[in-house]
Structure 1
């Protein structure tokens, strides 16, 4: 009878360890998703300092200072 109780206790400890590991993995995934290691912009916009070949020094497109 004691051997059976010991085996049940051992299995219960194993089940608890597995449940704890899964809970920790779920918690870590939740925290990573909330902290967002890569920033997400609130809205998309063009970079005002980027040039596309037609603008000069990031201005409005005129070669003589429209900024």
Structure 2
């Protein structure tokens, strides 16, 4: 469809979408691990802001171990 709208843009849509899907899967796996993984207590989800929240020490511990 994008090729029809922008025929001379020379965009490779399939590669861009596949790359984006890989990025989303990787990011989802990280968030899932934070919220329900083993030994990751202290993480929570702020429903209103749609953010993962944790104390400063919990973040530092997670960053150092990953």
Do the structures match in fold with TM over 0.5? no
The structure with more radius of gyration:
1
* Greater relative contact order (CA < 8 Å, ≥ 6 in sequence): 2
TM-score range, shorter chain: 0.3 to 0.5
Q: Whose helix proportion is higher, 1 or 2? A: 2
After TM superposition, the score normalised by the length of structure 2 is 0.39
After TM superposition, the score normalised by the length of structure 1 is 0.39
Q: Whose strand proportion is higher, 1 or 2? A: 2
